[in-house]
A = this chain, B = another copy of it.
């Protein structure tokens, strides 16, 4: 896929809020950020496996991490550095192809060493450097290669697209987006990239996410708005019900735009939140669409739930039903699988109130099959996007979750991953 195709992705214009303009550049769209990538020899095939993002000034950082109890060594290093720096950073170094997880004291030392080498290269306090790793678990990092790679790394203010490729593992394409919008009279930018794409559940994903902005954000607001955005985006993606050891998401704000600090409860806060929500949801959806082996994006919208928690459980429960994912793969409108998946979530459901549509075709009304047209129902299961719309008629809460189909490709990709 060429860079221009990447930017002409029609999914980018979906749900684009008024006032947002799509631009190029990803993590380097906002002024004051540089990025780069190279191949240092971690992966067996010579595709980029080391990437670096550098800010010209110290950034405020909001971050979320996997809740795995067997988290990678990088997670411990990043949490320690953010705590020491007061959630500030100037750089992140990322390797793909090796998760640096389950490597004991050596793994922790290697993660720490990656930040130290990057700090030395850039002349920074190591506490201002973060580190990510993604790939196979339980193999020590080839540190000689990593060290050479860090030494050789070049970053540039148009390096965002390259960076988006350097963080990939089994992704078939980069996930990259950036927008420009006005914030209280000042034009600001927000952009970023993610990598997926297996093990995306139940919180975050086998995913890394890097977002950058030049907006000036109040510290508390930045953390709150990022938490909310992650909750409605990366936490609503499912590829296969698994959760990874390395998941990390960051929002770097360098404050170069010079706008008045955005505080909660203001119109500017709403504008920034809408932009961040759009960007994170786009990237989340792209991870689902590029799920391992995926041929179809599944979009599940739940309305009328009694509570937000119920709406989220219901939507995610359907995206994560392997047996329904198979039906999506086969284009089979076997809505009984949706009923079963919904019932298993524990969300408060009155079977006799339930409406289910596949695309625009009302399949179930008040818990019973309508006289729907089978050909129309199958049509709704065909094509790259499959919409499952549920109305629970229990209350007012809504949620959207994204998933994909389950195909031979997923199995083939994971049956002999390390062999």
Q: Which residues of A from 388 to 415 have beta carbons under 8 Å from B?
A: 406-408, 410-411, 413-415
A67 to B320, CA, bound (A): 18
Write the chain B residue with the least CB distance to A351: B70
In the A-B complex, the 6 residue pairs with the smallest Cβ-Cβ separation, listed nearest first, are: A137-B336, A330-B415, A70-B343, A68-B343, A326-B414, A243-B344
Binds B, one of A41-49, A96-104, A258-266: A96-104
Nearest CB on B from A241, distance (A): 6
User: Does residue A154 face the partner (Cβ distance < 8 Å to B)?
Assistant: no
Known contacts: A69-B349, A364-B102. The answer to whether A415 contacts B243 by CB under 8 A is no
Nearest CB on B from A201, distance (A): 8
Kindly list 13 other residue pairs between chains A and B, CB separation below 8 angstroms, not including A137-B335, A327-B417, A331-B419.
A69-B343, A70-B339, A103-B369, A136-B336, A137-B337, A138-B368, A240-B323, A242-B340, A243-B343, A245-B340, A327-B416, A332-B418, A337-B414
Write the chain B residue with the least CB distance to A415: B330
A98-113 to B contact mask, C-beta < 8 Å, 1/0: 0101111000000000
Q: Which residues of B contact A115 (CB under 8 A)?
A: none
Q: Which residues of B contact A68 (CB under 8 A)?
A: 340, 343-344
Known contacts: A69-B349, A411-B329. The answer to whether A339 contacts B241 by CB under 8 A is no
Q: Which residues of B contact A344 (CB under 8 A)?
A: 68-69, 202, 242-244
Known contacts: A342-B70, A348-B69, A408-B411. The answer to whether A330 contacts B368 by CB under 8 A is no
Q: Which residues of A from 354 to 382 have beta carbons under 8 Å from B?
A: 354, 364, 366-369, 378
Q: Which residues of A from 313 to 351 have beta carbons under 8 Å from B?
A: 320-323, 326-327, 329-337, 339-349, 351
User: Does residue A120 face the partner (Cβ distance < 8 Å to B)?
Assistant: no
Known contacts: A408-B411, A417-B334, A418-B332. The answer to whether A369 contacts B102 by CB under 8 A is yes
Known contacts: A69-B342, A320-B241. The answer to whether A104 contacts B416 by CB under 8 A is no
Contact call B101/A339, Cβ cutoff below 8 A: yes
A37 to B241, CA, bound (A): 39
A sample of 12 inter-chain contacts (CB < 8 A) reads A69-B343, A70-B340, A102-B364, A104-B352, A104-B367, A137-B340, A243-B343, A326-B413, A327-B417, A330-B415, A334-B418, A337-B414
Contact call B332/A415, Cβ cutoff below 8 A: yes
Q: Which residues of B contact A332 (CB under 8 A)?
A: 415-419
Contact call A335/B138, Cβ cutoff below 8 A: yes
User: Does residue A126 face the partner (Cβ distance < 8 Å to B)?
Assistant: no
Contact call A102/B367, Cβ cutoff below 8 A: yes
Contact call A336/B138, Cβ cutoff below 8 A: yes
User: Does residue A199 face the partner (Cβ distance < 8 Å to B)?
Assistant: yes
User: Does residue A121 face the partner (Cβ distance < 8 Å to B)?
Assistant: no
Contact call B137/A415, Cβ cutoff below 8 A: no
User: Does residue A21 face the partner (Cβ distance < 8 Å to B)?
Assistant: no
Nearest CB on B from A134, distance (A): 12
Q: Which residues of B contact A136 (CB under 8 A)?
A: 334, 336
Q: Which residues of B contact A202 (CB under 8 A)?
A: 344
